[in-house]
């Protein structure tokens, strides 16, 4: 298992929960487009309980919750309104309930339909099972 590095072909990797006692399969990304997003959220990082320096981090955007193999989504939150993006919900591992591993947001601030949520997956919050 590996941790994130920019040279990884994300679409050929399985992203797994970072907790060794869990290791649940979370997602196999469909794209390699990495976005830097400022959130201020203390995301889980591999080998740590909570990151203290997660102000701007690398994410991939997932358009559909059904692209995930295993994910939990929190209730709506307004705790992170001062971040660079309006965080609607946090995402966690649904097997062990640890996280956050990313967040959900709307493209449009006026949107309220949860079926239109987008998901930002924090790339430092996973271990990578690279396909050989």
* Extents of the domains making up the chain: 10-130
Strands, sheet with 89-92, edge to edge from the N-terminal-most edge strand: 35-38, 56-62, 118-122, 102-105, 89-92, 72-73
Residue 12 pLDDT greater than 80, yes or no:
yes
Task: Summarize the confidence of residues 61-77 as an average pLDDT.
Answer: 93
| 24 exposure class (CB count in 10 Å sphere: 0-12, 13-18, 19+) | middle
Task: For residue range 13-26, list pLDDT tens digits in order.
Answer: 999 999 889 999 99
Indicate the range of 11-15, 29-33, 98-102 predicted with least confidence.
Answer: 29-33
Cα 76-32-56 angle, rounded to 5 deg: 50
Residue 47 pLDDT greater than 70, yes or no:
no
Task: Summarize the confidence of residues 6-19 as an average pLDDT.
Answer: 89
Q: For the domain 10-130, what is the CATH code?
A: 2.170.150.10
How many angstroms from the chain centroid is the CA of residue 36?
Answer: 12
């Amino acid at each position: 298992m590996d941790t994130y590095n920019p040279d990884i072909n994300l679409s050929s990797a399985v992203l797994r929960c970072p907790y060794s006692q869990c290791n649940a399969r979370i997602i196999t990304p469909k794209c390699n487009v990495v976005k830097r997003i400022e959130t201020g959220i203390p995301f889980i990082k591999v080998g740590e309980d909570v990151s203290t320096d997660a102000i701007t981090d690398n994410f991939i955007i997932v358009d559909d919750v059904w692209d995930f193999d295993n994910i939990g989504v929190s209730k709506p939150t307004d705790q992170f309104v001062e971040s660079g993006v309006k965080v609607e919900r946090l995402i966690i591992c649904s097997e062990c309930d640890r996280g956050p591993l990313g967040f959900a947001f709307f493209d449009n601030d006026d949107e309220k339909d949860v079926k239109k949520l987008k998901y930002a997956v924090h790339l430092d919050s996973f271990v990578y099972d690279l396909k050989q």
